[in-house]
Amino acid sequence: MTIERIVRIVAGCFILLSLGLGVAGSPLFHNSNWLWFTAFVGANLLQSGFTQFCPLELILKKLGVKKTCH
């Protein structure tokens, strides 16, 4: 699995989990402040699209995950 796929999977999981914890109608509801985490993940995805800088990508590179499928 490549770095790009892992970043997308982790971001998607974080967004779904934080929405589940932050939306009052959810069976996982804990506190509406979890929506701030959703906003943080979304903002990080947006800035990484423009700047090509993603902290998770740096961590995965240090762990030896391959960048491409080649």
pLDDT of residue 70: 67
pTM: 0.86
Residuewise pLDDT in 10s, the chain (70 residues): 999 999 999 999 999 999 999 999 999 999 999 999 999 999 999 999 999 999 999 999 999 998 877 6
Q: List the chain domain ranges.
A: 3-62
pLDDT of residue 12: 97
13 Cα distance to chain centroid: 7
Give the whole-angstrom CA distance, residue 18 versus residue 32. 9
Give the whole-angstrom CA distance, residue 27 versus residue 23. 9
pLDDT of residue 69: 74
Burial class (CB in 10 A: 0-12, 13-18, 19+), 7: buried
